[in-house]
């Protein structure tokens, strides 16, 4: 019964829509805990799904699921504290959408059928749209409109890509189930032309959702207008879900011997995203948009690493896990800053170190971690990506990558220093309660610990996920 | 050659031209409803899937694409009395000419592809390509938010045409899931449209440009 992992939050999500104002909060934490428990059970037992043609437990899916589950549990604890302070009018819609969002994202990680994957990813867009419009301002309305329209049109491209892959089966006279695992097994018999076309459309489609430039335009708006717990989910796990679609299709391409083609496109999109993010980070005036562009940068690194293959693919997987942990922690922290200073502008903040010392620790730790400095995991991930690219001989690509990373670090550091140490006369409208900071600490600590010590089963799962991509190294 | 199929598909191509030329939203919605109906009966006319489940699914598609989705948009307009013109960036005559050019180009391009299932009909692939590109065109060349949603629906119609006619293997339950997603998506867009109208008193997307660097 694998399916229960996404059915449980679906049921509680629907219930939450009908609950009175404050009842949704305990339900949120309860579902988070239940989901974490179920995911851990799934990890240990590895049971068979009920509908085998649609769902499967894959190593890459399990990794994403575990990240989602841990993140959601911690975010739900933060959310309860956040809701007490923040002024959110229709709270039942917020909690209900959060739970449905969790359910759809879980479904993405477990789906094996190409079309079911598409259905689940489109459903994540629909479930998260109300989250972005929570504040009911004209700006959040604009962000929601852009998000829904751009992502729906983008994902429609992915649907076309999925259909093209079924055509490649028709042309190649392959009679297999339309699932990622089955197609990877018979990949060499698929028609290469249609398969390439399918991959290109899927990359553009899911790439829109993943935030790859130049289809990223919705991302900074949506991530900055959504309430911080929702931004943390959007940035921390939703982007991973879209990446999963690309990753699995890339696996088919590699098995079909078209890895050079797919790798080149992935690297191209990756570098474009890093460059685009760098341009906007340098002149950024709002801290939530700064974090959003940093997500685009990291997705670029991940796409680049996946395209490089070998060590790079392993590095990309590490970056994926650590980016989720660190970026969601940073977005939660940005929620505290927003509640404290009441503005998203960097210049309206300042002196965070004195004004909100506990938030400062989380913010500065997150900044150090996301910039790829040791001893946090992104450092190791980026190192592997760069080493992998050198090993594969992509010297121009790796030069562009390293130079942009330096520029981005400079830009990000400049803004982070302003927030932390600039003088400020602002009065802080928030008491830093424990539950508003320790979820961030736990997330950062997890990243720190995973950098030095990876449990054997986790390491094995990562290796299983990237075996085909890396071809053993 | 398959004459009934080609005749049906030519109706779809006509609807593309009409949609490019129509200046008023109610007309555009009617064209889209007509297109939805015609596109959903194409699998029946091709006739490779005449099981009970297949017919039931076709009827469900017909209801959702031809009736429910257009009605959704129609009520969204009616409820908030949105201005009825589509506010073109590219003019109507130029649009129709572009549409003709698009259909010719789609015909020329689709000869290059070799897929065995395409040979059932000459017009199938050109029509699907035309719908996709035409939907994109409406998204880009109209400033009215509702016309943009209609463009999205047209794209989905095109993808449906590629999907159901080529991949006999796809299961109806999965196809139905896709259909439900599209429906829910359009409904959410309709809700957002109403909110946009209430907030800005217009649905001109030029108003939705405050968030940028």
Question: Which chain B positions have a beta carbon within 8 Å of A142's beta carbon?
Answer: 208-211
Cβ–Cβ of A163/B213 closer than 8 Å? Answer: no
- Residues A230, A132 contacting (CB under 8 angstroms): yes
Least confident stretch, A236-240, A383-387, B201-205: B201-205
Burial string for A47-84 (b: 16+ CB within 10 Å, else e) reads eebeeeebbbbbbbbbbbbbbbbbbbbbbbbbbbbbbe
Contacts 24+ apart (CB under 8 A), A465-468: A465/A58, A465/A59, A465/A60, A465/A63, A465/A317, A466/A313, A466/A314, A466/A317, A468/A184, A468/A251, A468/A254, A468/A255
Rg value, chain A, Cα: 21
Interchain CB contact of A143 with B (< 8 Å): yes
Is A23 strand, coil or helix?
A: coil
Q: Is A89's Cβ below 8 Å from some Cβ in B?
A: no
Q: Which of A274, A282, A247 is nearest to A414 (CA)?
A: A282
What's the maximum distance between 2 C-alpha atoms anywhere in chain B?
Answer: 55
Task: Give the model's confidence band at B141: pLDDT under 50 very low, under 70 low, under 90 confident, else very high.
Answer: confident
What angle, rounded to 10 degrees, do the helices at A114-132 and B172-200 form? 20
Average predicted confidence (pLDDT) for chain B: 84
Neighbours of A271 (CB within 10 A): 23
Cα dist. A206→A162, A178, A304 in Å?
Answer: 11, 18, 15
Share of chain A above pLDDT 90, in %: 75
Q: Does A125 touch chain B (CB under 8 A)?
A: yes
Contacting residues of A for B159, CB less than 8 Å apart: 156, 159-160, 163
Q: What pLDDT score was predicted for residue A39?
A: 95
Q: Is the Cβ of A197 closer than 8 Å to some Cβ of chain B?
A: no
Contact with chain B for residue A55, Cβ under 8 A: no
Interchain contact, A139 vs B211, CB within 8 Å: yes
Is A286 strand, coil or helix?
strand
Minimal C-alpha gap between B101 and chain A (Å): 23
- How many CB pairs lie under 8 A apart between chains A and B? 109
Q: Which residue of B has its CA nearest to A141?
A: B196
ipTM above 0.85, yes or no: yes
**For residue A333, pLDDT beyond 80:** yes
Which residue is closest to A113 within chain B, CA to CA?
A: B174
Q: Which of B120, B128, B139, B140 is nearest to B103 (CA)?
A: B128
Distance CA A305, CA A391 (A): 12
Cα pseudo-dihedral B53, B55, B58, B59, rounded to 10 = -110
Question: What is the distance between the alpha carbons of residues A2 and B104, in angstroms, rounded to a whole number?
Answer: 50
pLDDT confidence tier of residue B23, bands split at 50, 70 and 90: confident
By CA distance, what is A225's nearest residue in B?
Answer: B211
- Backbone angles phi and psi of B204, in degrees to 5: -75, 120
Predicted local distance difference test score (pLDDT) of residue B198: 83
Neighbours of B126 (CB within 10 A): 23
Cα dihedral A329, A332, A334, A336, rounded to 10, equals -130
- Place A243 in a pLDDT band, splitting at 50, 70 and 90: very high
Q: Tens digits of per-residue pLDDT, A71-110?
A: 999 999 999 999 998 888 888 999 999 999 999 999 999 9
Contact A146 B211 (CB under 8 A): yes
| Terminal Cα-to-Cα distance of chain A (whole angstroms) | 35
Query: Phi and psi for A191 in degrees, rounded to 5?
Result: -70, 120
- Tens-digit pLDDT profile for residues A399-450: 999 999 999 999 999 999 999 998 888 888 788 888 999 999 999 999 999 9
Q: Would you say residue A112 has pLDDT above 50?
A: yes
- Per-residue pLDDT of B25-38, as tens digits, reads 888 999 999 999 99
CB B185 within 8 A of CB B149: no
The verdict on A166 touching B (C-beta cutoff 8 Å) is yes
Chain A hits for B155, Cβ within 8 Å: 153, 156
Contact, A206 vs A121, CB < 8 A?
yes
- Give this prediction's pTM: 0.94
Contact predicate A328/A75, CB 8 Å: yes
Tokens 């009605």 correspond to what residue?
Answer: B71
pLDDT band at B194; cut points 50, 70, 90: confident
């Amino acid at each position: 019964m694998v399916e229960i992992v996404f059915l449980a939050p679906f049921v509680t999500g629907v219930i939450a829509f009908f609950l009175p104002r404050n009842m949704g909060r305990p339900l949120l934490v309860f579902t988070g805990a239940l989901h974490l428990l179920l995911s851990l059970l799934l990890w240990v037992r590895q049971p068979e799904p009920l509908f085998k043609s649609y769902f499967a437990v894959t190593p890459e899916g399990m990794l994403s699921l575990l990240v989602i589950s841990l993140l959601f549990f911690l975010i739900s604890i933060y959310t309860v504290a956040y809701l007490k302070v923040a002024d959110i009018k229709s709270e039942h819609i917020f909690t209900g959408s959060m739970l449905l969002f969790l359910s759809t994202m879980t479904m993405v990680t477990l789906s094996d059928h190409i079309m079911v994957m598409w259905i689940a990813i489109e459903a994540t867009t629909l479930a998260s749209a109300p989250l972005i419009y929570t504040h009911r301002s004209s700006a959040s309305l604009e962000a929601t409109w852009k998000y829904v329209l751009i992502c729906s049109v983008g994902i429609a491209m992915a649907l076309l890509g999925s259909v093209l892959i079924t055509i490649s089966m028709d042309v190649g006279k392959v009679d297999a189930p339309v699932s990622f695992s089955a197609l990877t097994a018979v990949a060499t018999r698929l028609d290469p032309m249609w398969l390439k076309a399918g991959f290109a459309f899927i990359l553009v489609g899911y790439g829109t959702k993943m935030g790859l430039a130049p289809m990223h335009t919705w991302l900074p708006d949506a991530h900055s207008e959504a309430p911080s717990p929702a931004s943390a989910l959007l940035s921390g796990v939703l982007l991973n879900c879209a990446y999963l679609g690309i990753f699995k299709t890339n696996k088919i391409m590699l098995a079909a011997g078209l890895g050079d083609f797919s790798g080149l496109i992935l690297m191209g999109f990756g570098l474009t995203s890093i460059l685009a993010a760098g341009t906007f980070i340098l002149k950024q005036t709002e801290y939530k948009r700064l974090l959003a562009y940093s997500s685009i940068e990291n997705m670029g690194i991940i796409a680049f690493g996946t395209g490089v293959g070998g060590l790079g693919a392993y590095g990309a997987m590490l970056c994926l896990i650590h980016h989720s942990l660190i970026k969601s922690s940073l977005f939660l922290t940005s929620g505290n800053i927003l509640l404290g200073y009441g503005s998203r502008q960097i210049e309206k903040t300042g002196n965070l170190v004195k004004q909100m010392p506990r938030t400062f620790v989380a913010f500065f730790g997150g900044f150090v971690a996301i910039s790829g400095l040791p001893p946090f995991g992104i450092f190791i991930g980026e190192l592997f990506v760069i080493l992998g690219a050198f090993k594969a001989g992509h010297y121009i690509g790796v030069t562009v990558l390293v130079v942009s990373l330096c520029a981005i670090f400079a830009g990000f550091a400049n803004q982070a220093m302003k927030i932390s140490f600039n003088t400020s006369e602002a009065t802080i409208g928030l008491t830093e309660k424990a539950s508003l900071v320790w979820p961030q600490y736990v997330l950062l600590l997890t990243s720190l610990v995973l950098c030095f010590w990876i449990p054997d089963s986790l390491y094995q799962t990562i290796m299983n996920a990237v075996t085909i991509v890396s071809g053993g190294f | 050659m398959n004459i009934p199929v080609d005749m049906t598909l030519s109706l779809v191509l006509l609807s593309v031209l009409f949609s490019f030329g129509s200046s008023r939203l109610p007309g555009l919605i009617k064209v889209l409803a007509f297109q939805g109906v015609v596109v959903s009966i194409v699998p029946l006319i091709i006739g490779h899937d005449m099981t009970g489940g297949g017919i039931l699914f076709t009827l469900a598609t017909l209801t959702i694409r031809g009736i429910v989705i257009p009605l959704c948009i129609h009520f969204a307009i009616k409820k908030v009395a949105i201005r009825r013109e589509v506010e073109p960036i590219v003019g109507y005559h130029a649009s129709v000419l572009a549409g003709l050019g698009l259909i010719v180009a789609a015909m020329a391009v689709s000869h290059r592809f070799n897929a065995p299932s395409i040979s059932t009909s000459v017009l199938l692939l050109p029509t699907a390509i035309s719908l996709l590109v035409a939907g994109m065109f409406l998204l880009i060349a109209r400033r009215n938010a509702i016309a943009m949603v209609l463009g999205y629906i047209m794209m989905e119609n095109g993808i449906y045409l590629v999907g159901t006619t080529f991949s006999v293997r796809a299961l109806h339950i999965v196809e139905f899931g896709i259909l439900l997603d599209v429906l829910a998506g359009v409904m959410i867009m309709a809700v957002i449209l109403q909110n946009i109208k209430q907030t800005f008193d217009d649905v001109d997307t030029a108003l939705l440009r405050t968030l940028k660097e």
